[in-house]
Amino acid sequence: MDVNNIKQRVLEALGPVKPAGPETIASKDFLFTAERTVASGDLPPYYLVYFLLADLVGFKNLGMFEKVSWSIPLDYKGRAMVVEHRKFGLGIFTSGTKEDKAAAADIARRLKKAVRVAQPYFDWRAEEASKHSHLNVLNHAVSLLERYEFFLGMYEQKREEAERRKDERIRTELSPTSWTVQMPSVHLRREAKWCALATIESFFSWTEHVFILVAILQGKIVTGEDVARLAAAEWDTKFKAIFDITEGETKRFYDDLKLVRAQLRNVVAHGAFGKNGEAMQFHSSAGAVPLLLPYNRHARFKFGHGITFVDHEAIELLRAFINHLWSGPRAPAKVYLQEWALPLILSMASSGEYASAMVSVEEMNLFARHLADEMDRSANMDF
């Protein structure tokens, strides 16, 4: 990539927007009295503006100040402007005159254009960053688990109501000689099964995510490329990243969950055909026989069954596994991921800080509290 070429094109897009210098006209206390302009709402994301101005074209950054993360003074046709990332967001700040407000609008337009021109540079920076540990991995474990718990609650409600109303019959007279009889429990059991399928789908979505986060806390993946590889891998690869499946109880969970995933989750996810063409039957003298048709061209047809399952047994398996996941040496991970809901900082995985905190629940609580306090101070820009 020709960085110099991109830099030159960016400078052309910026036009009269220059770094502030000795000849730039500004009041003595300009940085303390400058006002946010309406044009601030039209700016690209703060990190793109920062990398564009400070990193790519080399405009001077004045650094941190109280409630200010970074500050880049500009010269626009001789007048002083400043682009700052403050507590309430990125903005263009000026002395507030009518001319300055019009200039701020032009600066915002030019910054948006320059950001588009610099996109190859941003892509390159992102690719380079992924090779190292100076990255955060967002933690969505709490919201994903809440979705699982929501459908689980619906399932339990439908199942309990079906059991409570199992002897109920609703007779509807159609005429003096005809009527219909409805059994509410039949419909409730069907709805409970739907909720069970949604619960299982949500469970596997949560585990696909949380296995990666636990692997980071265990120090088994420490770069962005490691995360990307594991994210693209199959569910069972993610499982093996954090568990020893030679251990008896873990192996039983692994086998049972793979069966649930293959027979239920994958079938639902592929429109009730599954990955193996489960919604097929062939004709025989015995009647219609289930037939699986793997998409692998080297595989053969084979007998099989569809998506019949005992929903209560599957749900109890998920519950038991979650308890197993957060037991023993993985218990501190629950504190960090589900209780404090903190993002994963790969540099802390590579430095061994997470490994030190993973020795006990008590150590992890102390570590998570300290980290949360630091993040609060950073979010408030209490520099």
Helices of type H across 261-336: 266-269, 311-325, 331-334
Confidence label for 259 from pLDDT (cuts 50, 70 and 90): confident
CA 129 to chain CA centroid, Å, is 18
* Residue 380 pLDDT > 80: no
SS3 annotation, 188-233: HHHHHHHHHHHHHHHHHHHHHHHHHHHHHHCCCCCCHHHHHHHHHC
Please tell me the predicted confidence (pLDDT) of residue 232.
95
- What is the per-residue pLDDT for 294? 45
* pTM for the predicted model, two decimal places: 0.76
Q: What pLDDT, on the 0 to 100 scale, is given for residue 285?
A: 74
Residue 55 shares a structural domain with residue 142:
no
What pLDDT was estimated at residue 12?
95
User: Does one domain contain both 79 and 143?
Assistant: no
Where do the DSSP E strands lie in the chain? 17-19, 35-36, 68-76, 79-86, 89-94, 136-137, 170-175, 178-182, 281-282, 289-292, 302-303, 344-345
**pLDDT (0 to 100) of residue 29:** 84
The residue with tokens 């489960």 is 278
- pLDDT tens for each residue of 150-190: 999 999 999 999 999 999 988 888 888 888 888 899 999 99
Tens of pLDDT, residues 59-92: 999 988 888 889 999 999 998 989 999 888 999 9
Per-residue pLDDT, 95: 86
Task: Extract the tokens encoding 153.
Answer: 């609650």
Amino acid at 194: W
The answer to whether the beta carbons of residues 376 and 63 sit under 8 Å apart is no
Of residues 115 and 261, the one with the higher pLDDT is 115
**One domain, residues 109 and 27:** yes
Please give the pLDDT value at position 306.
41
pLDDT digit string, tens, across residues 289-317: 665 544 343 333 333 344 444 688 899 99
Q: Are residues 323 and 229 in the same domain?
A: yes
Q: Tell me: do 290 and 362 sit in the same domain.
A: no
Can you say whether the dihedral through the CA atoms of 311, 316, 322, 324 is positive or negative? negative
Between CA 272 and CA 202 the distance in angstroms is: 17
Residues 290 and 193 occupy one common structural domain: no
pLDDT at 268 over 90: no
Same domain, 230 and 354: yes
Cα 65 from Cα 1, distance rounded (Å): 35
pLDDT given for residue 112 in this prediction: 95
Residues 53 and 122 both lie in one domain:
yes
Rounded CA gap, 120 and 233, in Å? 28
294 touches 277 (CB < 8 A) = yes
What does the DSSP 8-state code read for residue 336? I
Q: Which of 103, 130, 157 is the last residue of a domain?
A: 130
**Residue range(s) defining the domain that contains residue 42:** 3-130
315-372 pLDDT, tens digit each: 999 999 999 999 999 999 999 999 999 999 999 999 999 999 999 999 999 999 999 9
Cβ-proximal residues to 159 (8 Å cutoff; 6+ apart), any chain = 188, 189, 192, 311, 312
Average pLDDT over residues 49-55: 94
Residue 109 confidence (pLDDT): 95
CA dist., res. 361 & res. 96, Å (int): 54
Sequence length of the chain is: 383
How confident is the model at residue 312, as a pLDDT? 87
Residue-averaged pLDDT of the chain: 87
Chosen domain end from 130, 158, 186: 130
Q: Which of 106, 130, 154 is the last residue of a domain?
A: 130
Same domain, 121 and 215: no
Task: Find tokens 């998409």 and name the residue.
Answer: 295
Distance CA 81, CA 79 (A): 7
- Indicate the residue type of 374: E
Q: Give the C-alpha separation, 50 to 383, whole Å.
A: 18
234 has a pLDDT exceeding 60: yes
More confident site: 296 or 250: 250
The pLDDT tens digits for 180-217 are 888 899 999 999 999 998 999 999 999 999 999 999 99
Q: Coil, strand, or helix at residue 301?
A: coil
Please say if the pLDDT value at position 264 is more than 80: no
More confident residue, 11 or 87: 11
Question: Are residues 118 and 52 both part of a single domain?
Answer: yes
Structural domain total, the chain:
3
pLDDT at 302: 37
What average pLDDT does this structure show over 80-109?
90
pLDDT of residue 218: 96
- pLDDT at residue number 267: 56
Q: What is the pLDDT of residue 289?
A: 64
Give which of 95, 56, 41, 88 is closest to 73, Cα–Cα.
95
257-287 as b/e, with b when 16 or more CB fall inside 10 Å?
A: beebbebbbbbeeeeeebebebbbeeeeeee
Q: Higher model confidence: residue 42 or residue 130?
A: 42
Does one domain contain both 121 and 171? no
Q: Percentage of the chain surpassing pLDDT 70? A: 88
325 shares a domain with 281: no
Residue 128 or residue 271, greater confidence: 128
